[in-house]
Structure 1
Amino acid sequence: MVMNAGYGRSLTIGVDVGGTKVAAGVVTPGGRVLARVRTQTPERSKSPEVVEDTIVSVVSELRRRYPVRAVGVGAAGFVDERRSRVLFAPHLSWREEPLRDALAVRLGLPVVVENDANASAWAEVRAGAGRGVDDVVVVNLGTGIGGAIVSDGVLRRGRYGLAGEFGHMTVVPGGHRCECGNRGCWEQYASGNALTREARELVAAESPVAEALRQEVGGDPTLITGPLVSDLARKGDRACRELMEEAGTWLGVGLANLAAAFDPELFVIGGGVSEAGGLLLDPARRAFEKGLTGRGYRPEARVEAAALGNEAGLIGAADLAREALPRGRRRRHRRRLGRVGR
């Protein structure tokens, strides 16, 4: 049954595909999410076919309830400059995957594929923590680290569409092996995966400081997750707070490097790990200030938490899909997203 036909042809669907989940929503031109569907990325296989089937399934479920004009997919990987192919995804099996065309054929709708961090950044700049700021760097902390650059109010994708892959900057030469194939990438020290790895190693080493964490998982380190560490840290567990502070410090180190390269007015920190709030951002701000080039003699960018939460990726992807529609096929709507909720 199709609902809310009063929105006419202004609705689009945004899909956020991460290393562990696929989330989709029907989004209005004002950034309001009318309906949501979320499912886990199938553990039995993360092959292109299985992930594609999952995307089609969640989009089809939403289309049964709402009339939509286009679909935007935020993909956790390298997306080409034409926003059609996923060149490489560290946490999925996409390699030169023609995702846009494959989905367009199966769905019968225009499809835009965008890097997930770009999609989240677009939403935050248009309707979230970066609203009204023209020079913003967004860093998303999830399974890995994604990033995006908005300069002079324009989303900068780079010549080949690969700008913003900050998570794969080398910060520790010869350090931890990364899924991308290199060693010492930033996301191996400041992401959800890094937080989980460090907590598991602490429990496996039978450290007495990790007793609460060990009891929480019944002595099985494989049951430790990033959200569990964050939750225990919020409850005051000393070991988990130290782990969070360490991740935050590494976050600040990376931000200082990004400030030297891009000189933004604002850093917006999003993604699931950022929900730890001050436990993560306070040490990040301290490390950022300590590592900033020319500190004391230059303006410092603000470091703020994202405002749109887990829905930023799908809101941004949906709006980018709407923006990509030929002008003759679009209904009139504001070029800039207004207050979320319309």
Structure 2
Amino acid sequence: MNGPLTIGIDIGGTKVAGGVVDARGALLATARTVTPDRSRSPRVVEETILSVVDELRAVHPDVAAVGIGAAGFVSADRSTVVFAPHLSWRNEPLRERLGERVGLPLVVDNDANASIWGEYRFGAGRGESHLVMVNLGTGIGGGIVYEGQVIRGRYGIAGEFAHMQVVPDGIRCECGNRGCWEQYASGNALVREARVLMASTSPMITDLFREVVGPADTLSGPLVTEAAKRGDRLAIELIGEVGRWLGVGIANLAAALDPGTFVIGGGVSAAGEFLLGPARENFRRHLTGRGYRPEARIVAAALGNDAGVIGAAELARDALST
């Protein structure tokens, strides 16, 4: 499989990751930095993206295009980030601003669209004609592939599953509404619940909390996951709760979209069966017509945290041939 090298950039609420990717989906070089504080100017985030691109081009100057997966609502023409709940972009013409500086063909898409495209072409979604991806990171990202096409919707905002209301008048979400799915099934939800217990000196305290040096806000999702893998009962319970809400949400998505496979990605998916076991159980419990319909598979992303980078690079490569 021959084709030009391209760069993929994955922008999340906490990190900007990039990589040079070949036509087989292999990462040839990577770069990563933290996302600047969301309260700062969008220009600061854009400069961070450019610094990652420059670092990668220094290693592979022959790259032909750049694909960017941005955590937010991206317009149908894939040029503008209309709204980013976890960043400060509001109607940002990202393709124009960055394209002028990069000097290469540049594609902008939603980060979950990039991730699902990576998994569809090279990962857990290969061979599946009806695929839905749910990325559990800082928030929730979602993507849909139907018969070989990413479904973006009339306005480019399809797949924003994070902001389905699952609890009327529930927890306030950064999008402005209450009770959104990502307030119950995301990395933020996992860490929030753990920190509340830690700050309250709950009698539920286990080794998970004894390992944290400093105040409750130093507790992180990866620490909870590692504790669960060592058998910490509270960490297992906290991840299981996220898994239960994950199952509820994807049962709703199955009712609407009827995919053959759900791919679960994002940083929280590193919890593996601690997350996916409760998700499958609650998916079956809440599935419409359960017992009388085929059930979608629920699998972990094969590309891990690299799915967004690889998918964004592949979207950029696809654009070169159109």
TM over 0.5: yes
Map Cα deviations across residues 28-69 of structure 1 (whole Å, 9 max, x no partner).
111111000000112385421011001111101111221111
1:152 to 127, 130, 147: 147
1:92 to 79, 83, 87: 87
Judge conservation of contact 1:9–1:69 (CA < 8 Å) in 2: no
* Structure 1: tracts of 5 or more residues without a match: 1-6, 328-342
Q: In the alignment, does 2:44 pair up with 1:50?
A: yes
Amino acid aligned to 1:280: L
1:250 to 245, 253, 264: 245
2:26 to 16, 25, 32: 32
Amino acid aligned to 2:41: S
Secondary structure of 2:50's partner?
helix
2:268 to 273, 282, 302: 273
Secondary structure of 1:208's partner?
coil
2:224 matched residue in structure 1: 229
Q: 1:160-171 counterparts in 2 under 5 A? A: 160-171=155-166
- Rounded to whole Å, the distance in 2 between the matches of 1:218 and 1:20 is 21
- Rounded to whole Å, the distance in 2 between the matches of 1:273 and 1:62 is 27
Amino acid aligned to 1:228: L
Shift of 1:241: 0.7
- Rounded to whole Å, the distance in 2 between the matches of 1:171 and 1:142 is 18
Q: In the alignment, does 2:102 pair up with 1:107?
A: yes
1:321 to 312, 316, 319: 316
1:21 matched residue in structure 2: 15
Judge conservation of contact 2:38–2:87 (CA < 8 Å) in 1: no
1:194 to 189, 195, 199: 189
2:130 to 112, 115, 135: 135
TM-score (norm 1): 0.91
Secondary structure of 2:204's partner?
helix
1:175 to 163, 170, 173: 170
- Rounded to whole Å, the distance in 2 between the matches of 1:161 and 1:325 is 20
Q: After the TM superposition, which of the residue ranges 184-193 and 63-72 deviates more from structure 2?
A: 63-72
Secondary structure of 2:43's partner?
helix
* Structure 2: tracts of 5 or more residues without a match: none
Judge conservation of contact 1:214–1:220 (CA < 8 Å) in 2: no
Q: In the alignment, does 2:120 pair up with 1:125?
A: yes
Map Cα deviations across residues 190-227 of structure 1 (whole Å, 9 max, x no partner).
10000000001111221122232331124621111111
Judge conservation of contact 2:131–2:145 (CA < 8 Å) in 1: yes
2:64 matched residue in structure 1: 69
Q: After the TM superposition, which of the residue ranges 44-53 and 64-73 deviates more from structure 2?
A: 44-53
1:294 matched residue in structure 2: 289
The runs of 4+ residues in structure 1 deviating greater than 4 Å are none
2:280 to 282, 285, 295: 285
Map Cα deviations across residues 141-180 of structure 1 (whole Å, 9 max, x no partner).
0000000011122110001100000011000111111111
- Rounded to whole Å, the distance in 2 between the matches of 1:301 and 1:64 is 44
Amino acid aligned to 1:22: V
Map Cα deviations across residues 12-32 of structure 1 (whole Å, 9 max, x no partner).
100000001001101111111
- Rounded to whole Å, the distance in 2 between the matches of 1:8 and 1:301 is 34
Secondary structure of 2:9's partner?
strand
Pair 129,326 (structure 1): closer, same or farther in 2 beyond 3 Å: closer
Judge conservation of contact 2:39–2:88 (CA < 8 Å) in 1: no
Judge conservation of contact 1:10–1:69 (CA < 8 Å) in 2: yes
1:332 matched residue in structure 2: none
Pair 53,286 (structure 1): closer, same or farther in 2 beyond 3 Å: same
Amino acid aligned to 1:195: L
Secondary structure of 1:183's partner?
coil
Amino acid aligned to 1:49: R
- Rounded to whole Å, the distance in 2 between the matches of 1:44 and 1:200 is 21
Structure 1 vs Structure 2 CA RMSD: 1.4
Amino acid aligned to 1:268: V
Secondary structure of 2:285's partner?
helix
Shift of 1:322: 1.1
TM-score (norm 2): 0.97
Pair 246,57 (structure 1): closer, same or farther in 2 beyond 3 Å: same
Shift of 1:134: 0.4
